[in-house]
């Protein structure tokens, strides 16, 4: 429905209309900015509305009106401005969001439809991207609309809310046998990268992620302890190490700053030399799985493993519970037939 014609100008940005109402009509960002127009009943309401909109503009807020023409990438930028910058992975996530926006044609956010993401997801899945990765991308996209909606910076529909995550097929985690560990360490000792052997040894001894150890700084190695700062889940944790490993970590390395060279490419070379084949997506993470698996098979306390690995929930550590020897023994001891027979004795 078109706005009524203006009759008299009350003050800059506020007009009286021919039907007796009051219109707020101004550009808070100046002549090149977006235009804000709204009808109200009284001059008092008009002045308050104009003041509020001008104030929000000065704070950097986007004008949330029916004329909100922000693109999906602009909405992502606003998400980063108000929330994403507080996340450890905020910049990385913003980059992923921008890539998604480009792939979907960067439409106006209010024109987005669920089918846009579904088409995009199908192309990505066919290109070999995992279901787990696509679930993360969907969650990132939903978060943009949820965050801005919660702070009244988005007044339209949340177009991707009803899309369900893809069901994940749980794969058996691969871990290295004792022989494979020896082969890998032997290949690492022959590597051109003099730090690779120590990085692998430390991962196998502590259960730390490869990147956590490869990025370790001298200041984070204390007597008998490694401090992991700003881990994947944003938490700090301390992991115990033996005196011999501590000596090998420190020996011949800087007294401050980063201890090791980049070892990721060297690790791939060592894997190939040791003739070790891993499932897609595990790669360096196999060292962490190896530590946890052998820890449980050797009878290590379950709750201690949870603390060592730095898992946010016990459910994450339960992945390894079935490897505990007491788990296997209890299956024999407490199955219904054997348990009943033991009671009769």
- pLDDT at residue 179 is higher than 70: yes
Which of 232, 258, 322, 333 is labelled catalytic?
232
DSSP tag of 108: B
Q: How far apart are CA 230 and CA 252, in angstroms?
A: 26
Confidence category of residue 11, pLDDT binned at 50, 70, 90: very high
- Active site annotation includes 320: yes
Task: Of 142-146, 218-222, 276-280, 283-287, give the lowest mean pLDDT range.
Answer: 276-280
- Residue 256 φ/ψ, nearest 5 degrees: -150, 160
Which of 209, 289, 294, 295 is labelled catalytic?
209
- Active site annotation includes 285: yes
- Active site annotation includes 250: no
- Active site annotation includes 35: no
CATH for 178-218+248-329 (1.10.730.10, 3.20.20.210, 1.10.443.10, 3.30.1330.40): 1.10.443.10
Q: What is the pLDDT of residue 72?
A: 96
Q: What integer is the mean pLDDT of 270-286?
A: 89
Which of 288, 289, 294, 295 is labelled catalytic?
288
Query: Up-side HSE of residue 50: CA atoms within 13 Å toward CB?
Result: 21
- pLDDT at residue 216 is higher than 90: yes
The answer to whether 264 touches 210, Cβ cutoff 8 Å, is yes
Position of tokens 């965050």?
147
Confidence category of residue 289, pLDDT binned at 50, 70, 90: confident
Share of the chain above pLDDT 90, in %: 50
Which of 156, 174, 237, 311 is labelled catalytic?
311
- Active site annotation includes 85: no
Name the pTM for this structure. 0.57
Q: How far apart are CA 84 and CA 143, in angstroms?
A: 10
Q: Which two structure tokens, joined as six digits, stand for 159? A: 């177009």
pLDDT digits (tens, 9 = 90+) for 64-121: 445 688 999 999 999 999 999 998 789 999 999 999 999 999 999 999 999 999 999 9
């Amino acid at each position: 429905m078109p706005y009524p014609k203006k009759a008299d100008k009350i003050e800059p940005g506020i007009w009286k209309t021919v039907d007796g109402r009051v219109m707020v009509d101004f550009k808070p960002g100046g002549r090149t900015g977006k235009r804000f127009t709204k009808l109200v009943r009284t001059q008092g309401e008009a002045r308050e509305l104009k003041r509020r909109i001008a104030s929000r503009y000065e704070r950097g807020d986007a004008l949330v009106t029916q004329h909100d023409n922000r693109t999906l990438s602009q909405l992502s930028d606003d998400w980063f401005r108000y929330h994403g910058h507080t996340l450890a992975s905020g910049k990385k996530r913003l980059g992923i969001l921008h890539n998604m926006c480009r792939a979907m044609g960067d439409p106006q956010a209010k024109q987005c439809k669920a089918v846009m993401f579904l088409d995009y997801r199908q192309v990505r899945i066919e290109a070999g991207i995992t279901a787990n990765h696509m679930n993360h991308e969907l969650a990132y996209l939903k978060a943009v609309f949820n965050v801005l909606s919660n702070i009244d910076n988005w007044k339209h529909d949340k177009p991707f809310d009803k899309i369900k995550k893809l069901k994940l097929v749980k794969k058996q985690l691969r871990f290295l046998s004792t022989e494979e560990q020896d082969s890998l360490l032997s290949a690492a000792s022959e590597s051109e990268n003099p730090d690779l052997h120590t990085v692998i040894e430390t991962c196998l001894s502590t259960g730390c992620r490869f990147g956590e150890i490869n990025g370790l700084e001298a200041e984070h190695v204390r007597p008998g302890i490694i401090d992991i700062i700003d881990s994947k889940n944003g938490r700090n944790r301390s992991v115990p190490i033996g005196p011999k490993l501590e000596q090998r970590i420190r020996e011949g390395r800087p007294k401050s700053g980063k201890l090791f060279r980049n070892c990721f490419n060297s690790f791939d070379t060592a894997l190939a030399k040791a003739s070790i084949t891993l499932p897609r997506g595990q790669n360096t993470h196999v060292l962490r799985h190896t530590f946890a698996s052998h820890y449980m098979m050797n009878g290590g306390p379950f709750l201690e493993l949870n603390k060592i690995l730095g898992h946010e929930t016990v459910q994450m550590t339960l992945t390894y519970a079935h490897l505990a020897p007491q788990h296997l023994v209890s299956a024999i001891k407490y199955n219904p037939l054997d348990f009943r027979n033991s009671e009769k004795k």
